[in-house]
Amino acid sequence: MKKIISNLELQEKMQETITLLCDTVKTTLGPVGNNTIIDHSTFSPFITNDGVTIAKNIESDDPVINTILEIAKEAAIKTDETVGDGTTTTLVLLESIFLEGLEKIKKGKKAMLLKNELNRSLEKLITLIKEKNKIPKKEDLFKIACISSNDPEIGKILTNTFSKVKDSNAIKLIDNTSIKTEVTFYKGYRFETLLASPYFLKNKTIKWHDSKVLLTNNELNNLEEIAEILNETIEKKNKLIIMASEYSEDFIQAILTLYLNKTAQIILLKNPEYGENAYTFLEDMAILTNAKLDITSSNENRILLGDSPLIEITKELTTLQFIPNEKIKLYSKALRKEKTEHAKKRVAMFTHGLAEIKIGGFTETEIREKHMRYQDALCSLNIAKKGILPGSGITLLETKEQIKIESDGDEILKNALDKPFSQIIKNAALNEQEIMNKIKKNDFKIIYNVALNKYEKKKETSVLDPTEVILNSLINATSIASMLLTTSNLVINEYQNEINKQNEYNELI
């Protein structure tokens, strides 16, 4: 059976939902915002002030509210996915835009007309904010990391790491087993070790200098396929790393016998990637090893042979060291045009290398909470490369003064722009009106640093936000608010809800 909620009843449910979601999250905004304890079904309760994490965990027993919640959460989730920060600001803006827009509709404003006005007003806002954009220096990135993580030590570690590897995709965050946070840098091309047999790794690590590397995109089934290469390897006592998609059992046993009897130094690795990535992996290997087509091989089984100055194999990872040259530089430059995460990581390995940050802490709860801070700051650093603006809501507050009200959309967005600033000041238990008046009196040339509890010159402030974070917060808040304001009906499948409840009950017993 389906239940339909419409008009005034739906508007009241939407208002209740937005208030529930945003009031819970917005108390965390700013450097002295409060934390929230989250009880999770799969692991122990934890403490966080991360807006999107809190939003994702808010649910209701009311199926109508729960449905609206999922739509409203999308504003914060989209901001998090795009820029990795600004999720709480997004929800503060969403609440203001939706509630004021709802009042306009209740007074007779046509919803679609209001949506169009909001979109036009948003375009003007985006232009005004982009005009203030500033390209950051290293000290600015440090400030960004400190603000996003709300921790100077995390800011210092991340900024130093980021300055060396130049890209967030080159930094891996993992939880440490000790209380200490450790940073390790890696040069070379790293990939997952997939041995054809564990017996090839007699020791914990194999480190070979000046080895040959044989690459093929096919399966190797018998020794005849690489007979000439194999004979030369044995005669000249070369070291040989073979990378293929797969091997027959007979092939593995034959090579393993040669290896264990010390007749030949040969190790069989499998291509660690799948699908299209398997081909790009071979392309990368061919470039790095300067591999050339083996003229003795058939076209059906394309075999490339190259050289490696150093290859290190452990149980988990294999690292191929290489000497940068013009060919590699041109290859990585072309690779930069690809926008996938996989391509970005490959570029990092070709250029500045990789870094691993092992996050330490006294308890699992502390480590989990710090991990989220690191993740937020890392995303902020990466997005801040495009540009920065003064933070603490001051940019939106200043932009508010530039807006001329020509429509209800202008009025709604203008009234929303001071809400993040007000919430930050409120969370710090400070006098909002006094601080706002002083900033306006100084023509927005000063900013209030809530963390240090003092005024600063805007040009010298440590309170900064990535421009993209501010823009995406506005865009996503306006988008979701507009969608909700133009929705007049909600259909609930009550039968499906009963099934879900029964399934939850069955899991409990």
Number of domains comprising the chain = 3
72 torsion bin: left (phi>0), alpha (psi -120 to 50), beta (else): alpha
* DSSP SS3 for 308: strand
| Residues 312 and 441 grouped into a single domain | no
CATH of the domain at 195: 3.50.7.10
- Mark whether 377 and 402 lie in a shared domain: no
Segments of the chain with pLDDT less than 70? 1, 40-43, 295-301, 494-509
Q: Six-digit token pair at 288?
A: 């790095």
How much is the pLDDT for 161? 94
Position 233, amino acid: T
Identify the CATH number of the domain in which residue 18 sits.
1.10.560.10
* Structural domain containing residue 73: 2-134+389-508
Q: What is the pLDDT of residues 52-77, one digit of tens each?
A: 889 999 999 899 999 999 999 999 99
- One domain, residues 309 and 410: no
Q: Please give the structure tokens belonging to residue 134.
A: 């500033």
pLDDT of res. 298:
55
Question: Are residues 301 and 194 located together in one domain of the fold?
Answer: yes
Residue 40 located in a structural domain = yes
128 and 143 belong to one structural domain: no
Residue 323 is assigned to a structural domain of this protein: yes
- Does some domain include residue 363? yes
Task: Specify the pTM.
Answer: 0.70
Report if residue 158 sits inside a domain: yes
Which residues, 6 or more positions from 343, have their beta carbon under 8 angstroms from its beta carbon?
335, 336
Task: At 184, list the tokens.
Answer: 């390790």
Short-list 422, 420, 440, CA closest to 432:
422
Residues 245, 227, single domain; the answer is: yes
Say if residue 340 is in the same domain as residue 359. Answer: no
To the nearest whole number, what is the mean pLDDT of the chain?
90
Can you tell me whether residue 447 is helix, strand or coil? strand
Q: What angle do CA 198, 202, 205 make, to 5 degrees?
A: 100
Pairing of strands 205-216, 303-314: antiparallel
Based on the domain organization, do 102 and 206 belong to the same domain?
no
Q: Give the helix/strand (H/E) hosting 215.
A: strand 205-216
Structure tokens of 234? 């044995």
Q: How far apart are CA 382 and CA 364, in angstroms?
A: 27
In a domain, residue 218? The reply is yes
257 and 403 in a common domain: no
Residue that terminates a domain, selected from 301, 327, 350: 350
Q: Is residue 270 part of a domain?
A: yes
Structure tokens at 232: 């030369």
Tell whether 185 is covered by a domain. Answer: no
Indicate if 204 and 338 belong to the same structural domain. Answer: yes
Strand partners, 183: 357
How far apart, in whole angstroms, are the C-alpha atoms of residue 11 and residue 17? 10
Q: Are 190 and 216 in contact (CB under 8 A)?
A: no
Q: What is the pLDDT of residue 497?
A: 53
Residues 302 and 164 in one domain: no
Last residue of a domain, one of 364, 386, 408: 386
Amino acid at 425: I
Residue 31, token pair as written in the block: 């450097």
Residue 176 within any structural domain of the chain:
yes
pLDDT at 301: 63
Q: Could you tell me the CA-to-CA distances from 501 to 163, 251, 505 in Å, in that order?
A: 50, 55, 6
Provide the pLDDT for residue 43.
67
Residues 402 and 271 placed together within one structural domain of the fold = no
Which element (helix H / strand E) includes 501? helix 494-508
Residue range 163-197, pLDDT digits in tens: 999 888 899 999 998 899 999 999 999 999 999 99
CATH number of the domain enclosing 160: 3.30.260.10
Q: What is the pLDDT of residue 508?
A: 44
Side chain identity, residue 397: L
Give the residue from 323, 350, 377 where a domain finishes: 350
Q: Are 320 and 326 in contact (CB under 8 A)?
A: no
In this prediction, residue 131 carries a pLDDT of 95
Q: Yes or no: say if 450 and 105 are a contact pair by the CB < 8 Å rule.
A: no
